């Protein structure tokens, strides 16, 4: 004779595994660790700062361009 199996427990176990797989996929697709986000932001800020330092003309504070157009 075969082993007696509780189908409800098997169904719940299967649902938990599917839910965990979906969560892992979403973490891989959307998630970054806080440290990674902070590091990425810091690298972008440094790159923008270096670019700003190498500008020939400073951007106008009031948002108007320096060409004096109409």
pTM value?
A: 0.42
Judge whether 24 and 30 are in contact, CB under 8 Å: no
Q: What is the pLDDT of residue 23?
A: 93
Rounded distance between C-alpha atoms, residue 16 and residue 12, angstroms: 6
The residue behind tokens 């973490």 is: 27
- pLDDT tens for the chain, 70 residues: list them: 688 889 999 999 999 999 999 999 988 888 878 888 899 999 999 999 999 988 888 767 776 655 555 5
32: CB partners within 8 A, 6+ apart = 40
Q: Residue ranges of the domains in the chain? A: 9-53
Q: What is the pLDDT of residue 44?
A: 95
């Amino acid at each position: 004779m075969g082993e007696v199996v509780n189908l409800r427990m098997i169904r719940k176990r299967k649902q938990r595994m599917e839910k965990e797989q979906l969560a892992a996929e979403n973490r891989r697709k959307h998630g970054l660790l806080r440290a990674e986000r902070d590091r990425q932001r810091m690298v972008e800020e440094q790159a923008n700062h270096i670019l700003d330092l190498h500008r020939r003309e400073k951007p106008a504070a009031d948002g108007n361009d320096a060409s004096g157009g109409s």
